[in-house]
Chains A and B, each alone.
Chain A
Amino acid sequence: MQLSRLFWIKAALWLLCLAPAAWLVWLTMSANLGPDPVATLEHQTGLRALQLLLLTLGMTPLRQLSGRPEPLQLRRTLGLFAYFYMCAHFAMYLVFDLELSLPKLGEDLVKRTWITLGFSCWLFLLPLAITSTNGWQRRLKRAWKSLHRLIYPAALLACCHFVWLVKKDETEPLTYFSILLVLLASRLPWGKWRKGIIGAQTTT
């Protein structure tokens, strides 16, 4: 019974995560992507990737707040969907902006910081996507956890990528940046520090 409940939650999550992709496919086929279809596709896939990445990072704090096991059971699905949208985002850029030219990619990576940031983020998350299976988790033992901490710098890179590319009015990217900072801050050992301070006060 317990297992089937998780099954339904996961099925719902899959549908929710696939919905934006389905929506974009629909908009593409009905020619409703707006005046610059490629820009819309690139922006939307990038935005979904970032949102799902932040949602993935929200699962640990949610687990601590709720005391329920589900957030951690859904974390991998969310993370992989974030990577799915990131790959789509990267693929659009490679195909439509660069026409699959490696020299052009090289030039962008060297010259344009926001491309470097975005590409690094994609690269950081690649090993995480590959080693996301139970098999790899077992094989890597404790190293798995260390490896998967790469999501922290990757999320920072993703946010910087967004802030950097905006011409002006950085409200939207900075909102995501703030959410990330809150999520990262929640992981700091506040409890230990508080004890440390109280401890220090009692000894004086």
Chain B
Amino acid sequence: MLIRTSPQHPVRSSEITPEAVYNDRRRFLARLGLSAIGLATAGCGKAADSSANAITPKQVAAAGADLKLERRTDMAGKETPTPYDSVTHYNNYYEFGTDKSEPAQFAGTLRPRPWTVEVAGECEAPGRMDIADLLKLYPLEERVYRHRCVEGWSIVVPWDGFALGPFLARFKPTSKARFVSFTTLYDRKQMPEAGGALPWPYREALRIDEAMHPLAFLSVGLYGKTLPNQNGAPLRLTLPWKYGFKSIKSIVRIEFSESAPQTTWSAVAPDEYGFYANVNPGVDHPRWSQKTERRLGELFKRPTLMFNGYPEVASLYSNLDLRAYF
């Protein structure tokens, strides 16, 4: 299998914020607040300085990285990852509340161990796999990916896990397996905050060739740490060229099928969320523009890149009108 270690990234090195400036951005933000609001008093300035405490990956590693990583691949144009604190406290996981701060607050009720993943449908070797066994299958690798939410914000995350394709191939999908669908756990006891925001359980799916693409990734951790509950513990998809909602969390079931499966968001609002949901600055969401995005922590928006800056997936869609199949 081809694993591209240096993908074609359209982000030029001149566009990348120097790390020192990036790490200092909270202070920069604070100063901007000061000047914009015109309240540059000495006392407040001190308060701003003392709280400039952005967490760096090194700090996180020192604090409690528990995963053994075989290798690390930067696939985000050398951008500094979004602080661990932001990645784990700004989540869309509606089973734990619709506000972005709520999953971090309420996902404590999720029990990621013991955990079983069921694989079924059009495959020769269906079965159930315990998360402990699943974790022993492959050496873990880290991939730093850009992650773009359909809402217009984005982050850069070092995900830990393994490629999705070889994992799926283990179950020997038949020639009828044209799609593969994924289901999130739904348990009212573990998810008392779920409410009726969406029809549960949450479902997502990919065309089989998309799932087999080397960029498609199964994550079990981030920043070298076991995946926190609010980020989709113990097992989630990471599809960097698609809008975030495709990267389904806390997977309990995988099914191969011949016909296109129903997926949650495209069933709830088909005019707003398509099956493909490829990041595409040329196709706006009916209610907002997708031309730009805001990297968490930055003040101004930046241009959104086609396929989120992963042009290596373009060949998957060469015969597809991306305006119609958004």
Contact = CB atoms under 8 A, between A and B. Distances in A.
A36 B301 CA distance: 12
Contacts of B153: 36, 39
Given A38-B294, A96-B299, A168-B98, A30 B86 contact: no
Chain B interface, >50% SS class: loop
Interface string A24-47: 010011111111111100000000
Contacts of B37: 25, 28
7 A-B pairs with the lowest CB-CB distances in the bound complex, closest first: A28-B33, A35-B86, A35-B90, A169-B98, A31-B26, A169-B197, A35-B296
A7 B51 CA distance: 39
Given A31-B52, A97-B301, A168 B94 contact: yes
A18 interface: no
Interface in B42-70: 44-45, 47-48, 51-52
A99 interface: yes
Contacts of A39: 153, 294
Contacts of A36: 90, 100, 153, 294, 296-297
Contact of B34 (A29, A37, A165): A29
B29 A37 contact: yes
A192 interface: no
Given A31-B26, A37-B29, A38-B299, 7 more contacts: A30-B47, A31-B29, A31-B30, A35-B83, A107-B289, A168-B94, A168-B198
A70 interface: no
30 contacts: A25-B37, A25-B39, A30-B47, A30-B48, A30-B51, A31-B26, A31-B29, A31-B48, A32-B51, A34-B89, A35-B89, A35-B296, A36-B90, A36-B153, A36-B294, A37-B297, A38-B294, A39-B294, A96-B299, A96-B301, A97-B301, A99-B300, A99-B301, A108-B289, A112-B287, A112-B288, A165-B287, A167-B151, A168-B197, A168-B268
Interface string B78-95: 000011011001100010
Interface bracket on A: 20 to 34
Contacts of A112: 287-289
Interface of A: 25, 28-39, 96-97, 99, 107-108, 111-114, 164-165, 167-169
Contact of A96 (B30, B289, B300): B300
Interface in B188-218: 195, 197-198
B284 interface: yes
A169 B94 contact: yes
A39 B298 CA distance: 11
Contacts of B48: 29-31
B101 A34 contact: yes
B143 interface: no
A111 B48 CA distance: 39
B246 interface: no
A51 B52 CA distance: 32
Nearest to A36: B296
B27 interface: yes
Given A35-B89, A36-B153, A169-B195, A28 B287 contact: no
A184 B287 CA distance: 28
Nearest to A91: B36
B151 A29 contact: no
Given A25-B33, A25-B39, A168-B98, A31 B51 contact: yes
A78 B51 CA distance: 34
Interface string B282-325: 00100111000010110111000000000000000000000000
B30 A30 contact: yes
B27 A31 contact: yes
B97 to A, nearest CB: 9
Contacts of A164: 287
